[in-house]
Amino acid sequence: MLHQKRKHSGRTEADFAPLLRRLALFLVVGYLAATVLFYFLAGEQLHLRESRGDLELLTADSGTVELAAGSVVEQTFTTEIQRLEKISVQWGTYYRPNAGTVVLELYDTRSNTLLMSKSFDAAAVTEGGFTVMEAEAPIEGLYNAPLLLRIYSPDSQAGSAVSPLMNTQAKEEGFSLTLNGAPTPGILCFTASGTDYIWTGLHYWEFVAAGLAVILLFLDAVWYRARSGKRSYVVNAVIAVQKYRFLIHQLVARDFKTKYKRSILGVFWSFLNPLLTMCVQYFVFSTIFKNNIQNFAVYLLIGVVMFNFFSEACGMALTSILGNAGLITKVYMPKYIYPLTRVMSSMVNLGISLIPLFLVCLATGVHFQKSVVLALYFMMCLVIFCLGLGMLLSTSMVFFRDTQFLWGVLSMMWMYATPIFYPESILPENFRWVLRINPLYHFLKNTRICILDGISPEPFVYFQCFMIALAMLLVGALVFRKNQDKFVLYL
Amino acid sequence: MSQKTMIEVSDVTMRFRLNNDKILSLKEFVTTALRGKLQYNDFTALEHVSFEVKKGETLGLIGRNGAGKSTMLKVISGILKPTEGSVVCRGNVVPMLELGSGFDFDLTGRENIFLNGAILGYSKEFLHEKYDEIVEFSELGQFIEVPIRNYSSGMLARLAFSIATVVNPEILIVDEILSVGDAAFQEKSKKRMLELMGGGTTVLFVSHSLEQIREMCNRVVWLEHGNVKMVGAAAEVCDVYDI
C-alpha cells in the first residue's frame, strides 16, 4: 500500500521496540487493573442474579377455602431456584373486614423440615393483595426439591376469615393442591423467588487468567511479526496513534473552540443544553403524560444526555468527510481521523454534560453506589458504537447525499424507539422486540441500572454491550476502509 | 552527494471515471440507471508515467493546462491513489499544494499556526520551538492574536507561507506559490525557497513560468496529455518546450 510504504520506509526495528514495549505494558497493566476494579465494583451481582426458575404468579380465577380454624390449604411444588429467598401468596377477602391470625409454613418434604414460616394478622390483608414470607438467609439445596407450602389459621372464625386465591385450570408436573385434605385440580396463586449463582461469576478469575493468556499470546505474535520485519495492523495502528496524536488533539480543540466561539455563555451551553431539554421534557412528561417512574428527573436526564451524545456524534461524523473536502483534496492524512475527531469532540461534550447529571443526582437524593463507575463502561460502549456508525454514515454520505435526510428521519425514529422519556413497560408486548434489537436501549438501560438502582447488571450484559459496540465499529471501519480511496473522487 | 533515489514513480496511471453528470443522490442514480443512461467516460489524467527524483535534486514539472501536473503532485503526496502503478517516497513529504488549507477562520493566527502545523504533520515540540520564527517571518506582529477572518488576503498568504516553509522537509512539493504578498515579501519568500532547496532538500516544482524553472530546477519532466513527452536537463527541455 502506497501510504504505508511512505510512512514506514526508513523506520527500523529500534523505532517500534520501545513503542511495543509500552503497548504491552499498558495492555497488561490496564487489563489487570480493569479486571480487579470490575471485580470490586460489580460486587454481588457478579456472582448472583435473579433466578430464572422463579415461579410466576398465576391469574386468580377462584378462591380456595375460607381459612377458618381447622381449614388447611396445602400446595406441593418444585422450583429451579438455587437460593430460595421469598414466597408470597395472594389473598381474597370476600370484600369484608376479617380478623384472626394466618400462618404460612414451607416444608422440605424429603426430610419434613420446616424451612420458613410466618404468621400475620388477617385484618391487614387486602383483596388481591400479597403477603410475603422471607427467609432470614437464602436457603440453598432446594433446586428441584419437593416442597410443601401449608397455609392455615389457628383462630379465625367462619364469616371473618380470608381465603388464598387459586387458578383452577393450571396444571404442572410436581404440583398438587390439597384443600382440607382433599386433592383439588388447579394451583394456588403464589410466587417463589430467589437467586442463582452465575457460572461466569464463580469462574471469574479463571476467565481473567484466560483473557490474560490471550493478550500475552497476541502480544507475542505481534512482537514476532515485528521482529521478522513484517508489518502487522497493530504496529501500524500504534505508530499512527503516536504520529497523529497531536493532530487529533488540535482538531478536537478546534471543534470545541469554534463551537461556542461567538456565543456569550460559551461552554456553559454544554451543560445548559441537556439541563434545559430535561426541564422541558420533565414538565411535559410528569404533568401532561403522567408516569410512575421513581426519580423521573434523573431517569430522563440520563436518557437525554446519552441520546444527545448519540445524535450529535453521528450527525457530526456524517458530514465529517464532506465538510472537510477542502482538506482532503489538498493534504494527505489518514481519513479515519475526520470522523474520529468529530466523535471525540462530542465525547468532550458528553463529559461536560455529566456535570449537570451529577448535580441533578445530588439534588434528587440519588444514593451513589460504587456501581456508578460502571456506568462509564456503558458510555464508552456507546462512544465506540457511535464511532462505527459515524464512519458508516460518513462513507455513505460521500456517495449519496441523500444520507443526511434519511438520517434525519432515522434518528427521529430511533429516538422514539428508545425509552428516553417513557418507561419501557408502556410498550405493548408485541413491540418489545424493538427494544431488544435497539443497541441504544441496552446501553441506556444498563447505565440507568448502574446509577439509579446502584447495582451492577449481570456479567453477561457487559459482554453483550461490548460485542454490540465492537460489531458496529468493525462494520463501520471495514466499509470506510474499503471506500476511502474513492472519497477524493466524489467530493 | 550520494545519488539516493528519493521519489520513485513507476508506471503510474491515473484514471478517473466521469459520469456525464456526477450522480450524488440515490434517486438520481436509480432513475438514470433505469433509463439506461448511466454512462461512464473514462478520463485518463496520467498514463504510464515513470520517473525518479534523486536526493537533493530540484525537478520541474511543466506542461499545458490539463496536462496532469497537479494530478501528478497529488499522487506523489498521497492524496490520490493511482489506478495502476506505484509511488514510493523515502522521507517525509511536505506538500505545498494550496497554502492555508485547514485554516479555521474563527481561530486566531496563533491557534491556526498550531492547527495548520499539525495538519502538515509537524510535531508539538517542533511548533513550540519554531513559533517565534513563524510569527517573525510572517510579519504579522500583534495581529497574531486576532481571529484570521479579519486578515487581508495578503496577511493570510504570508501566514500560510511562513508555516509551510518553517520545516526542513526531505521532500518538498511546490505548486506555484512564489507569488505571495507584496514585492518585498515575494523577494523574501523566494530567498527562503532557495535556502530550502540549497539545504539538500529534494524538490518537486510546478510552475508555468519557464523563467523560474530554468532558474531553480536541475531536471525537468514535460507532461502532455498525461504522457511524459520529454525528460532531461532544465535548459534543454525548456528550449524545446518554448518553441
Q: Do B119 and A333 touch (CB under 8 A)?
A: yes
| pLDDT at residue A14 greater than cutoff 60 | no
**Average model confidence (pLDDT) across chain B:** 82
CB proximity under 8 Å: A 234-253 to B: 243, 246-247, 249-251
CATH, range B1-92+169-184+199-243: 3.40.50.300
**pLDDT confidence of B181, banded at 50, 70, 90?**
low
| pLDDT at residue A220 greater than cutoff 90 | no
**Average model confidence (pLDDT) across chain A:** 86
Q: Could you give all domains of chain A from N- to C-terminal order, each with its CATH number?
A: 2-47+203-490 (no CATH), 62-197 (2.60.120.820)
Q: Quick one: pLDDT at residue A378?
A: 95
Contact status, residue A60 vs residue A130, Cβ threshold 8 Å:
no
CA distance B44 to B17: 9
Q: Quick one: pLDDT at residue A106?
A: 92
**pLDDT confidence of A10, banded at 50, 70, 90?**
very low
Q: Quick one: pLDDT at residue A213?
A: 95
Residue matched to cell numbers 410512575: A292
> Nearest to residue B89, comparing CAs of B116, B65, B59?
B59
Contact status, residue A267 vs residue A356, Cβ threshold 8 Å:
no
CA distance B163 to A140: 74
- Count of CB pairs separated by less than 8 Å, A with B: 91
At B50, which amino acid appears?
A: S
CA distance B77 to B96: 10
Q: Quick one: pLDDT at residue A107?
A: 92
Q: Looking at residues B229-242, what average pLDDT do you find? A: 84
Contact status, residue A297 vs residue A282, Cβ threshold 8 Å:
yes
pTM for this prediction: 0.82
Contact status, residue A128 vs residue A135, Cβ threshold 8 Å:
no
Q: Do A250 and B78 touch (CB under 8 A)?
A: no
Tens of pLDDT along A410-448?
A: 999 999 999 988 888 888 888 888 888 999 999 999 999
3-state secondary structure of A243: helix
Who contacts B236 (Cβ-Cβ below 8 Å, separation ≥6)? none
Tens of pLDDT along A154-208?
A: 888 888 889 999 988 888 888 999 988 889 898 999 999 998 888 888 888 999 9
Residue of B7, B11, B40, B89 for testing the chain A interface, max A β-carbons within 10 Å = B89
Extract the C-alpha cell encoding B206.
Answer: 510546478
Tens of pLDDT along A367-400?
A: 888 889 999 999 999 999 999 999 999 999 998 8
| pLDDT at residue A7 greater than cutoff 60 | no
Q: Does B41 touch chain A (CB under 8 A)?
A: no
Tens of pLDDT along A447-467?
A: 999 999 888 888 889 999 999
Residue of B25, B55, B131, B146 for testing the chain A interface, max A β-carbons within 10 Å = B25
CA distance A48 to A134: 18
> Nearest to residue B204, comparing CAs of B88, B79, B93?
B93
| pLDDT at residue B25 greater than cutoff 70 | no
At A185, which amino acid appears?
A: P
Tens of pLDDT along A322-337?
A: 988 888 888 888 888 9
β-sheet bridge partners, residue A163: A92
> Nearest to residue A42, comparing CAs of A445, A376, A456?
A456
**pLDDT confidence of B20, banded at 50, 70, 90?**
low
Who contacts A279 (Cβ-Cβ below 8 Å, separation ≥6)? none
CB proximity under 8 Å: A 470-489 to B: 485, 488-489
3-state secondary structure of A265: coil
**pLDDT confidence of A8, banded at 50, 70, 90?**
very low
Tens of pLDDT along A114-166?
A: 999 998 888 888 888 899 999 888 998 888 889 999 999 888 888 888 999 99
In b/e form, how buried is each residue of B182-216, taking b as 16+ CB within 10 angstroms? eeebeebbbebbeebbeeebbbbbbbeebebbbeb
CA A263 distance to own-chain centroid: 37
Contact status, residue A170 vs residue A58, Cβ threshold 8 Å:
yes
Contact status, residue A107 vs residue A49, Cβ threshold 8 Å:
no
Identify which has the larger pLDDT, B98 or A95: A95
> Nearest to residue B210, comparing CAs of B180, B181, B183, B176?
B176
Q: Does B100 touch chain A (CB under 8 A)?
A: no
**pLDDT confidence of B178, banded at 50, 70, 90?**
low
CA distance A431 to A422: 14
Residue of A1, A2, A491 for testing the chain B interface, max B β-carbons within 10 Å = A2
Q: Does B12 touch chain A (CB under 8 A)?
A: no
Q: Looking at residues A286-299, what average pLDDT do you find? A: 80
Identify which has the larger pLDDT, A65 or A413: A413
Nearest-by-CA chain B residue for A483? B81
Q: How is chain B split into domains, by residue range?
A: 1-92+169-184+199-243, 100-168
Alpha helices in chain B (DSSP H): 26-34, 69-76, 109-119, 124-138, 153-164, 183-198, 210-216, 234-242
CA distance A397 to A318: 7
Q: Does A400 touch chain B (CB under 8 A)?
A: yes
**pLDDT confidence of A6, banded at 50, 70, 90?**
very low
Tens of pLDDT along B187-235?
A: 888 788 778 777 778 888 888 778 878 888 888 998 888 888 888 888 8
CA distance A92 to B113: 80
Q: Quick one: pLDDT at residue A405?
A: 92
Tens of pLDDT along B123-136?
A: 888 899 999 999 99
At A334, which amino acid appears?
A: P
Nearest-by-CA chain B residue for A6? B89
Identify which has the larger pLDDT, A9 or A367: A367
Q: Looking at residues B73-78, what average pLDDT do you find? A: 86
Extract the C-alpha cell encoding A147.
Answer: 416442597
Q: Does B95 touch chain A (CB under 8 A)?
A: yes
Local structure of residue A285 (DSSP, 8 states): I
Who contacts A273 (Cβ-Cβ below 8 Å, separation ≥6)? A308, A353
**pLDDT confidence of B56, banded at 50, 70, 90?**
confident
**pLDDT confidence of B186, banded at 50, 70, 90?**
confident
Q: Do B27 and A5 touch (CB under 8 A)?
A: no
* Strands of the B40-54 sheet, one edge to the other: B40-54, B5-19, B84-89
